[in-house]
Amino acid sequence: MKVVWTDRAKQRLWEIQAYIAQDAPRVAPKVVRRLVLRSRQLATLPRSGRVVPEYQRDDIRELLERPYRIIYLVLAEQRRIDVLTVRHYRQLLPGDLAEL
């Protein structure tokens, strides 16, 4: 399967990097790299993440890469994984998926 980062997910990566860089500029790109590398496992193991408890949908899943949650959509028929967002595990998720 192909792993695609949505524009919103890419924006979240930049926001995470900018936030971390305020205190630890050398660490920030390493954290982003770690998140991207972790998402690559989805190409061969698309359902390796758990169902997101807040949404209870089999096609919306997450990989945990502490302290972050990589939230993604499995599009099996298109043989594609869309990474929807990356969130700190303490952040509440919106009720509406469109707001992710």
- The CA distance from 64 to 45, in Å, is 14
Ramachandran assignment for 56, one of left (phi > 0), alpha (psi -120 to 50 degrees), beta (any other): left
Q: Is residue 99 part of a domain?
A: no
* Beta pairing class for 60-65 and 50-51: antiparallel
Reported confidence tier of residue 97, pLDDT bands at 50, 70, 90: confident
Place of tokens 């050398």: 26
Q: Is the peptide bond between 67 and the residue preceding it cis, with omega within 30 degrees of 0?
A: yes
Question: What average pLDDT does range 53-72 have in this prediction?
Answer: 96
- 28-54 tens-digit pLDDT: 999 999 999 999 999 999 999 999 999
Q: Is residue 29 part of a domain?
A: yes
**DSSP code for 5:** E
Query: What is the extent of the structural domain holding 67?
Result: 2-91
Residue 84 above 90 pLDDT? yes
Q: What is the CATH number of the domain that holds 71?
A: 3.30.2310.20
Token pair for 19: 């936030």
Can you give the pLDDT at residue 7? 97
Q: Is residue 48 part of a domain?
A: yes
Nearest Cα to 63, choosing from 79, 80, 33, 83? 83
Q: Is residue 6 part of a domain?
A: yes
Can you give the pLDDT at residue 98? 85
Question: What average pLDDT does range 12-27 have in this prediction?
Answer: 97
Q: Is residue 98 part of a domain?
A: no
The pTM (predicted TM-score) of the whole model is 0.94
Q: Is residue 100 part of a domain?
A: no
- The CA distance from 43 to 70, in Å, is 14
